[in-house]
Structure 1
Amino acid sequence: MSDLPKQRTFAAFDDEGPESAARAVPSGPAIPDADPAASTRGGGGGESASGPETGAAPGILAGKTVWVVDSHSLIYQVFHAMREMSSPAGQPVGAVHGFTRDLLDIIGQKRPDYLICAFDHSDVTFRNAIYPRYKEHRESMPDDLRSQFALIDRMLDALGIARIAAPGYEADDILATLARRARDAGGACVLVTNDKDCRQLITDTVRVYNVRKDAMFDGEALRREWGIEPGQVVDYQSLVGDSVDAVPGVPLIGPKMAGELLRQYGSLDGIYARIDELGPSKRKSNLIEFRDQALMSRELVRLRDDVPLELAWDAARVGPVDAGRVGALCGELGFRALSDRIMSLANAGAGGEAEPSGAPIAFRVVDTEGALDALAAELARGRPCSVDLETTSIHPRWAEIVGYAIAVEEGSGWYVPVRAPEGERRLDADRARETLRPALENPAIPKIGQNVKYDLIVLRCHGVALAGIACDTMVADYLLAPGERNHNLDDLARRYLKHETIRIGALIGEGKNRKRMDEVPVERVAEYAVEDAEIPLRLAPRLRRRLHDDGLEPLFDDVEIPLIEVLAEMEFNGIRVDRERLAELSGRFGARIAELGDRIQELAGAPFNMDSPRQLADVLFQRLKLPVVKRTAKSGPSTDAEVLEQLAPLHPLPARMVEYRRLMKLKGTYLDALPELIHPRTGRVHTSFKQDVAATGRLSSKDPNLQNIPVRTREGRSIRTAFLPAEGWSLLTADYSQIELRVLAHFSRDDALLDAFARGEDVHARVAGEVFGVPIGDVTKEMRRRAKAVNFGIVYGQSAFGLARALAIPDDDAARFIDAYFERYPGVQRFMESTLDSCREKGYVGTILGRRRAVSGVRSAAQRGDGRSRTLPERIAINTVIQGSAADLIKLAMIRVHRRLREIPRKSRMLLQIHDELVFEFPPEERSELVRLVDQEMRSAADLAIPLVVDLRTGANWADCDDAAVSE
């Protein structure tokens, strides 16, 4: 990219300054007639985006996609998530950082041809003329957010991203207008927003994208979720209303009823044309009584697609990045890691303008036995090879191999098809597997790949033990950039090689037209598959150089690479699940949920949809007159768990809602979902352990996520009773005792904390005795509870305010408690301050094994003061050192135990890793040996200043495990 920015001025911003123009209330009429006062930053020339009315050439955007961001909505989201982040000068910058990061995700991962940030211009729009109470619940913008808009404008200028607003209209209207104009010009449009109003804009060429979930929402998704067509969304919302925006709708018509009415009568007009067909009911009387209100609501929710905008498509292309301005601004705001990422994107040619990486990758289809034997001979030479499997499923335990792609030198590779469409040449699957087996199983031949764990499991399912894993490019990039959301091959190829990969959607299609890989012609699969093998081969040396430069190579080679095989083994093993027990629990939970529902409706005084946050808010704050505790990103009253907990002492309904939601989530996520995930051949669920997600280094799991099953609640424990060992076997759980506090003691070298662990004392009771000034034998349960909250709060960088909320005590009491803690444990405070000083100087923190995480926005020691208040970056920095080091230790333990289990063939198997806990299954004759082995290897994982302690339990299911004596 050139370093010269496109000068695209925004007329409305120039009139009043960028911050005020986007937010100032217009002094004139709410609906502008002759004064559009809106344009992109860059005035003249280019392809007109004004549509047919100004002579835009149809087809000018053919094959292109315009991405339009609902900027205010996205900024509010990240502001609330990163509210405490500040610049070195102490200025709030969390919204700037989060918004920029989201835009970089879009640019880097989605490669938009055009990108436009749409803003609300003011709080007053034409809708207020229709209904003065429109959005009356919206609170004024917080000052620490308002001050960031000028910085956001500067960042957009530096990035070369267009921004636009129009007096009298909302950003949603701009999204609607640009979507129509993109369609008229022959292009497609993606609307980046969580606002459900925009679902009315969905067409074959317009989709809605949720950046937070990385999920695209189209007509098919709308039909699944709401049961209606895009053309019915306006009428749907006219009936349901929106309490956040003060759109009244029709009382007692909720989402379910609105959907039924529209499916039956087609539209709002259709409902009223046949209103007499509805039988006598409160629903019918409300529809008649509030007809005018419904029609007015329709005018409020219908988005305008005729906003007068002066726009040239050329000015909406992404970039170029102004390197000087980016560097200066990121330096001013403390965005060191973000600056590196921006420049990496710029150098890679963001926005679809990447330079080609050279000649196309040459591929050869190996479809004869002679060619297969020649390939095997080439592999036997022992050169490092990159391997990628094409399969029939993304779930390795369910996948059949379609073909093998192999590369040993840059620029070329082989593809061995074993499944293909009828009539196409392919090799016998058994012949191909056995011919390739010697090379695949030879540990002396280095193997390279992307997400190697997947291929390892698939091959294991087909009887091949892949050996010699030398590099996984996904894991390598994760170590280099743990804060990135994605480490997929498409992004890596573009970022490091300036190479545009073949998109999987172009090969197998999307949605209902999606094909299986073995239904695609072999030549097309070969081109795609060989690229998937050749790219990691090229990436590996580049990534390894970076790992070496950052001191991460030992962590990569000694921990993360060996861990791949451990995780693959665990996923392959899975854990047995009792389907009948799940069904029994589902019925029990369902009965309790029904009881709660009846009681909640009774307490509310009238029926309402308990699953609707909007209707619950109406009940709590309108009908019951309870106080609004906090608001959502869209300024509506929040009804989240924290709010309900605070309201519980004031009325019995909130506490019932907390239990209702908890049981509904557990029932839907586990009791009803797990049976669908049980493999028909193994009778087990095979969760997927994610090595590249948590920035701290922790593992996560999905499909299913077993790490979120509550361990301390009765309901959570009941769910765990459905997880069983093999028939006639038992389970062993091994859990590090207070591992994060032990890591804290190791790093802080605090004498009192070290002494407590060395003596084997109850650390929480010891801390309580020290802080409250009483002998440890006189510590009460309440004292210990408070000390425990402080101990773990310190690990997470908790402030006095956070501790006060956790213990339900006054802020002053919490502050005094923290002061007393640091007075008795000064080494802990010294460790925390030195960690933050180092992070501020270097721009990152490190774990016990040298894992790095970039953290921006840590304040100076003078700004931090007495340490009672911690900003989000400061909490992240402290927590990463502690939690990340604990993650390092459990990974080391897993590797050690796995190797010991392999030394002498044993039947015992490692099944799960849940944070600090490992779960095994074993036959009766191996009980004593396994207990000793696991205890020894986990305690010996690292040499800390204090001993590691492991709690071991055995039992017939995951919940009912009793202490296991090591001496056995």
Structure 2
Amino acid sequence: MSKQPRQRTLIGFDDEIAECPDGDAATVPDEQPAQASAPSADETVYVVDAYALIFQVFHALPEMTGPAGQPVGAVHGFIRDMVDLLEKKSPDYLLCAFDLPGDTFRDERYAEYKADRSEMPEDLQPQIPNIRRVLEAMGIPCLECPGYEADDVLATVARKAEHEGMQCYVVTSDKDCRQLITDRVKIYNIRKDSIFDASALMEVWGVRPDQVVDFQSLVGDKVDNVPGVPLIGPKIAAELLQKYDTLDRVLEHAEEVSGKKRRENLMNGRESAMLSRDLVRLVDDVPVAIDWNEGRVAEIDQSAVQSLCQEFGFRRLAERLAGLTTQAEPATAQAEYRTVATLAELDELVQQLSQQSQISIDTETTSTRPRSAEIVGYSFAWQEGDACYIPVRAPEGDPQLDPATVRDALRPVLENPDIQKVGQNLKYDMVVLRSAGIALRGIAFDTMVADYLIVPGERNHSLDDLAARYLDHTTIKISELIGTGKKQKRMDQVPVAQVTPYAAEDAEVPLRLAGILQGRLQDEGLTDLYRGLEMPLIEVLAEMEFNGIKVDVARLGELGQRFGERIASLEQEIHELAGGRFNIDSPKQLSKVLFE
């Protein structure tokens, strides 16, 4: 399903913090931990920047209150993130790093450090102890250390994990942690479900991990009040470090730097740069107790967790937490997914489809944009555990059928309103098929739309998330087939043998979900809304997307001419003020005019 990749400060918080499994540096337990197997090189550690995630979910999600009227939105969002990590990443170890109230050594070093950070929102303060209560019930240690920030704790865990030969993923959006990147330590973005490593760092900042501290020392950080060196932005900092390698050498060669103002700032900014380096460099040996036995993922205390979920009103999350006790076998191990590779097989399939009262459908395409996407293949399912894929575009030498032949053969089935159609994000398929000359009729159930009605507060409604949430099933990820970034392929460039299980699953899983979600809609009293408004709206929106909107070309031309004249007038004024002509669109020439 090319249409939707499966997948998405702290001042003044409450001093009364619930205890967590391993305590802090001041309360190291006297008892020796139970014996457990030592960490091994093939194991993974996920260490979470707790407050970074808490603030993200607090500000991103709508307000949510529990049965007693207490705010619980941040609790729900954060714990849901922890469940996502456990379900999707299956870490061997999972730990959380917290900040403690009070000053750190950085505040003592520089009084203005993070001085502009606002206090914690009033509705968030009482949620912190509750988050820690759930973490304790889940057996996830909370690490913290007086006088240090959570980032320092993250650094300490990362280095210890690396020393033990494990792979460590630091779950944070804090750019300071990029200095921790090594072959065994990477940054995990839970929102994008993406890994940030040394190659990504070079692409974004143009520096190596060992240059991150020097890079930040030059650039500074307005949010944290790290001064840096004036007029040294990310691009210039990267160029300087590429040429001179380190901050010390940059400062030693400051007189050689081009640009009068920039050169002066570097020559006069040594003290500021050195201060900034002290502020941004993370401490990776803080005195915090790290017990791998405590951090190892194990069975959670279901009694305590379910009691807390009841207290906070987390019915759906309680079900997901209950599912963490056992690991279900992937459905793909039991399912039969096959490729329809000959005309005889196509004819047989069409006969079977024509006899069904309900089928699940999905299309694989070359683009996420339905109006320009070309169909790569069709997938169908009409009973659980059985699905097929018809390739019509594929690498040379792979099995594939003529697109027009397949389209014409399937049209009677797809346009038959008496055969009910089930799927995930059917609006996309409707537009794609309409572009190919097929009017999809008989739309009966869309799993994505149903889930949005059932849990509107959920961040993701992708097939990956629905399968994990309702079926305890891990789906094949589209990134496993087409890759990511600059090396990403089109679906028609992927071997059919790899596409078939992915595409067939895209049809079979919605079929399995449909019955569950229909029951949930009934339980929530949402069936009438779903069938009376949401489902008919799919066809209306698909029609709008296919037809597009009408524009007044003459009026747009008139506006374009008017804006063009205004731009020309402004350019002339700028050149007069600058004392000569230059390319305003050139950052290099513009900076020279402004600063030199």
Change (3 A) 1:166 1:42: farther
Checking the alignment, whether the CA contact within 8 Å between 1:391 and 1:399 is kept in structure 2 is: yes
Q: Distance in 1 between matches of 2:263 and 2:257?
A: 6
Please tell me whether the aligned partners of residues 37 and 167 of structure 1 are also in contact (alpha carbons under 8 angstroms): no
C-alpha deviation, 1:129, in angstroms: 5.5
Classify 1:433/1:77 alpha carbon distance in 2 versus 1 (closer, same or farther; 3 Å). closer
Higher relative contact order at CA 8 Å, sep ≥6: structure 1 or structure 2?
Answer: 2
Counting aligned pairs with the same residue, the percent is: 52
| SS in structure 2 of the partner of residue 398 of structure 1 | coil
Check conservation: 1:46, 1:312, Cα contact below 8 A. no
Q: Is the 8 A contact 1:37 1:166 kept in 2?
A: no
Correspondence list, 1:410-809, <5 A: 410-575=384-549
Counterpart residue type for residue 362 of structure 1:
E
Partners of 2:20 and 2:132 within 8 A in 1:
no
Contact kept, 8 Å, 2:430 with 2:440, in 1: the verdict is yes
Aligned partner (choices 205, 212, 236) of residue 215 of structure 2: 236
Aligned to 1:781: none
Deviation (angstroms), 1:354: 4.0
Q: Is structure 2 residue 331 aligned with structure 1 residue 341?
A: no
Distance 1:249 1:287 in 2: 10
Deviation at residue 344 of structure 1 after TM alignment: 1.7
The residue number in structure 1 matching 2:367 is 393
The alpha-carbon distance between structure 1 residues 79 and 511, as it changes in their structure 2 partners (threshold 3 A), is closer
CA distance in 1, matches of 2:304, 2:563: 58
Q: Does 1:292 align with 2:271?
A: yes
Structure 2 unpaired stretches of 5+: 1-14, 576-596
Is the partner of 1:179 in helix, strand or coil?
A: helix
- 1:122-271 → structure 2 map (5 Å cutoff): 122-128=101-107, 130-131=109-110, 133-138=112-117, 145-185=124-164, 187-203=166-182, 206-211=185-190, 217-219=196-198, 222-223=201-202, 225-271=204-250
Distance change (3 Å), C-alpha of 1:92 and 1:580:
same
Query: Which structure would you say has the larger Rg?
Result: 1
SS in 1 for 2:383: coil
Secondary structure of 1:341's match?
A: helix
Q: What is the rounded CA distance, in whole Å, between the counterparts of 1:266 and 1:121 in structure 2?
A: 36
**Aligned with 2:99 (options 111, 114, 120):** 120
1:71 matched residue in structure 2:
50
Deviation at 1:207, TM superposition (A): 4.4
Q: Quick one: which of 275, 283, 287 aligns to 2:262?
A: 283
Which residue of the partner structure matches residue 405 of structure 1?
379
Deviation, 1:576, is 5.0
Residues 93, 592 of structure 1: alpha-carbon distance in 2 compared, 3 angstrom cutoff: farther
The whole-number CA distance in structure 1 between the counterparts of 2:417 and 2:321 is 39
Is the contact made by 1:416 and 1:427 (CA closer than 8 Å) also made in structure 2?
yes
CA distance in 1, matches of 2:572, 2:67: 54
**Structure 2 residue corresponding to 1:384, chosen from 333, 346, 358:** 358
> Relative to 1, partners in 2 of residues 1:89 and 1:234: Cα closer, same or farther, differing over 3 Å?
same
Aligned mates of 2:513, 2:160 — CA distance in 1: 40
Inter-CA distance 584–110: structure 2 relative to 1 (3 Å threshold): farther
Shift of 1:165: 1.4
| In 1: Cα distance, 2:573 partner to 2:34 partner | 63
Residues 114 and 456 (structure 1), Cα distance of their counterparts in 2 relative to 1, 3 Å cut: farther
Q: 2:459 is paired with a residue of what secondary structure?
A: coil
Contact 2:34 / 2:293 at 8 angstroms: preserved in 1?
A: no
Distance 1:367 1:38, change over 3 A: farther
What is the deviation of 1:43? Answer: 3.9
| TM-score, with length taken from structure 2 | 0.81
Q: 1:104 to 1:223 in 2, by over 3 A?
A: same
Distance 1:68 1:585, change over 3 A: farther
Aligned CA distance change for structure 1 residues 389 and 309 (closer, same or farther; 3 Å): same
Assess if the C-alpha contact under 8 Å between 1:388 and 1:406 holds in 2. Answer: yes
User: Displacement, 1:563?
Assistant: 1.4
Cα distance in 1 for partners of 2:93, 2:532 equals: 44
The separation in 2 between residues aligned to 1:549 and 1:88, in whole angstroms, is 19
Cα pair 2:219 2:234 within 8 Å, conserved: yes
SS of 2:407 mapped into structure 1: helix
* Structure 1: gaps of 5 or more residues: 1-15, 27-34, 49-55, 599-968
SS at match of 2:371: helix
Conserved in 2, the CA contact under 8 Å of 1:348 and 1:496? no
Change (3 A) 1:91 1:568: closer
Contact 1:320 1:346 in 2 (8 A): no
Letter in 1 for 2:514: A
Taking the aligned partners of 1:198 and 1:585, their CA distance within structure 2 comes to 49
3-state secondary structure, aligned to 1:406: strand
**Cα deviation digits, residues 486-510 of structure 1 (max 9, x gap):** 1111121122222221122222222
Indicate the RMSD between aligned Cα atoms, in angstroms. 3.8
Q: Quick one: which of 275, 281, 303 aligns to 1:302?
A: 281
For residues 149-180 of structure 1, the C-alpha deviation after alignment (integer angstroms, 9 at most, x for no partner) is 33222121223333211233211122223334
Letter in 2 for 1:44: A
Answer whether contact 1:323 1:343 (CA < 8 A) is retained: no
Contact 1:45 1:312 in 2 (8 A): no
